[in-house]
């Protein structure tokens, strides 16, 4: 079993931030972590594929999203988009994909 992890830090400016993950030949997303630098930051997030198709949405969250035990199929690159942060903040991201 091979697990790919992508970690990145992004700063939301003008109400949005985006990060593009590794190019995965095929696998299952097992964990997504999106953590704001400030515990009180409210934000939305979504996952999109290489063609820009949104395939997983997160509603409003405060401080952190830590979704474990996922099994979303993915092939190609993956983007995490953060929108509507209040206030603008820096976010730590982690995506784990099992091949």
- Distance of alpha carbon 32 from alpha carbon 50, whole angstroms: 17
Q: Considering only 23-27, 45-49, 87-91, 95-99, which range has the smallest mean pLDDT?
A: 23-27
pLDDT mean across residues, the chain: 93
pLDDT at residue 25 in the model: 85
80/86 Cα distance (integer angstroms): 18
| Residue 72, pLDDT score | 93
Which residues make Cβ contacts (< 8 Å) with residue 25, sequence separation at least 6?
Answer: 75, 99
Asked which of 14-23, 31-40, 49-58, 66-75 is least confident by mean pLDDT, the reply is 14-23
């Amino acid at each position: 079993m091979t697990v790919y992890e992508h970690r990145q830090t992004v700063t939301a400016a003008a109400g949005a931030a985006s990060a593009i993950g590794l190019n995965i030949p095929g696998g299952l997303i097992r964990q997504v972590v999106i953590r704001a630098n400030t515990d009180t930051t409210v934000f939305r997030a979504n996952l999109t594929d290489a063609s820009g198709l949104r395939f997983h949405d997160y509603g409003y969250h405060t401080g952190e999203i830590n979704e474990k035990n996922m099994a979303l199929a993915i092939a190609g690159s993956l983007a995490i988009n953060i929108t509507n942060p209040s206030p603008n903040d820096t976010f730590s991201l982690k995506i784990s994909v099992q091949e």
